[in-house]
Amino acid sequence: MPTVLITGASRGLGREFARQFAAQGWRVIATCRNPAAADIEGEVHAMDVTDAQSVQSLADKLAGDPIDLLLNNAGVYGPRDSDFGRIDYDAWDEVLRINALAPIRVAEAFADHVLGSELKQMVFISSMMGSIAQTSVGDGFIYRSSKTCLNMAVNILSNQLRPRGATCVLFHPGWVRTDMGGPSAAIDPTVSVGGMMNVIKRLKPEDSGRFINYDGFDFPW
């Protein structure tokens, strides 16, 4: 039975990932800041991805447990009205810590768990809004830059871990009807997660470093 560890599993895409992986017979290690308030079935652990001690504590607790797939899903959008001339730099710092620094912190802490598994996969939820090639509008300083930073960090990570057999990829999940995406978004979480899971099933080591749309097509950097 393969094992997946999911960050930000208490809502949205994270919760849907937990549900679908469990339905397919995976051992699901769901993590979030407050498990007591989370509506998640199965194995749930407390972990604040921005807190180094919290992340390392769970990594130590799970020492010796192989993790086939580390799924870095936790993220925030931040203030939507913080554009040039009224940028909230404190908020920018916080969003960068959550969206860009935290996933790499989690990857570092759980690298041995992943590398000791059969599948050796790390998946990071990014966004088309982090694509420089696709950015033609003048808004979203904070969120866009945080995802662009994540994309570069994971690209570097994929190069560093490729010789050790790990496969590291980024996903654009689509515009999804979650708390972040809003009620007018184009697709349901079940469609987004189902699409990404179909791609994950087919991942090979040579896919490491790809930026992939939820339907399997490569997304421009």
**pLDDT above 90 (res 88):** yes
**Is residue 29 in some structural domain?**
yes
**Is residue 110 in some structural domain?**
yes
The pLDDT value recorded for residue 158 is 98
Closest residue by Cα to residue 151 from 88, 119, 114, 103: 103
Per-residue CA distances from 109 to 115, 175, 215 (Å) = 12, 30, 30
Segment 14-34 shows an average pLDDT of 96
Can you give the CATH number for the domain in which 195 is found?
3.40.50.720
pLDDT digits (tens, 9 = 90+) for 35-86: 988 888 779 999 999 999 999 999 999 999 999 999 999 999 999 887 888 8
Segment 7-22 shows an average pLDDT of 95
List alpha helices for 28-101, DSSP H: 52-61, 89-96
**Is residue 12 in some structural domain?**
yes
What span, in angstroms and rounded, lies between the C-alpha atoms of 209 and 219? 12
**Is residue 221 in some structural domain?**
no
Provide the 8-state DSSP code for 187. B
The pLDDT value recorded for residue 76 is 96
Torsion (CA) 49, 67, 22, 174 in degrees, nearest 10? 60
Q: Which residues contact 50 (CB under 8 A, 6 or more apart)?
A: 97, 98, 101, 102
What span, in angstroms and rounded, lies between the C-alpha atoms of 71 and 107? 9
Structurally, how many domains does the chain consist of?
1
- The whole domain housing 76 covers 3-213
Question: Is the distance from CB of 169 to CB of 124 less than 8 angstroms?
Answer: yes
Please give the mean pLDDT across all residues of the chain.
Answer: 93
Show the tokens assigned to 217. Answer: 């097509």
